[in-house]
Amino acid sequence: MDFHDISTRGLVLLGCGKMGSALLAGWLKRGLAAQAVWVIDPNPSEWVLAQGVRVNAPLPAAPAVVLVAVKPQMMGAALPSLAAMGGGGTLFVTVAAGTTIATYEAVLGASTPVVRAMPNTPAAIGRGITAICGNAAATIADLAVAEGLLSAVGQVVRLEGEHQMDAVTAVSGSGPAYVFHLIEALAAAAEAEGLAPALALQLARATVAGAGALAEASDETPTELRINVTSPGGTTAAALEVLMAPDTGFAPLLRRAVKAAANRGRELGK
């Protein structure tokens, strides 16, 4: 992306844990000058201190962007310190889970452009997917800036509105944990069939990672890919009879899991 406005006015990164560090690494790799970034973090890592960015230094009065990457429980203490930057001159982008746009508007003012984003943990290796939505004050240009910044760690999609965020959180935000559990469960099943633990885990991990990469790279749909590896009356078909059972299979189980996560998101957002 074009970092000209940010390079001139600066970017404030509030919180530089795993997600903040992944974003920062992506921006620097894409050519953003380190001196254009102000990091606020009570316990900056050695990596952050070595990047040449300004750490816990006096902030510019009106930076181009403030990106909020603190944990939700730290929000109450962290956000009021930036209230003076509200009012429209600075774009606020938040990747803090569960914190609604209304929370930001209450502190910063309704005229402050706010873009809420939900990334996920594969952002750590540049393979994340982030969903974004803006408030009424956020312009098309503001959304483009947010998308440019967040694309440093993977794909970005735009939502119709914040009402879709709980569903996104339940699918892509929490979804990596479902996949990690799939690897755990597949490895445990392999052990139950007589394979050594290390081999079982290697087979499970490589199979899930490889199938995911194939699904992303292929022009065929996941349904077509599944049919391609399922010979009639074969071993895969026998397994899929269990996994695709209409009441007890994988699909109804995941529907219940995603619904539980979305419902919890709605509760936390109240």
pLDDT in tens, 44-70: 999 999 999 999 999 999 999 999 999
Name the least confident of 68-72, 101-105, 145-149, 166-170: 68-72
Per-chain mean pLDDT for the chain: 95
Average pLDDT of the residues in 160-186: 97
Q: Enter the pTM of the model.
A: 0.92
Q: What residue ranges define each of the domains in the chain, with the CATH number in brackets?
A: 4-168 (3.40.50.720), 175-268 (1.10.3730.10)
97 against 59, higher pLDDT: 59
Average pLDDT of the residues in 86-97: 94
Q: Is the pLDDT of residue 1 over 70?
A: no
Q: Which residues of 143-154 are buried (b: 16+ CB within 10 A; e: fewer)?
A: bebbbbbbbbbb
The pLDDT score that the predictor gives to residue 69 is 95
Q: Is the pLDDT of residue 97 over 90?
A: no
Q: What confidence category does residue 108 fall into, taking pLDDT thresholds of 50, 70 and 90? A: very high
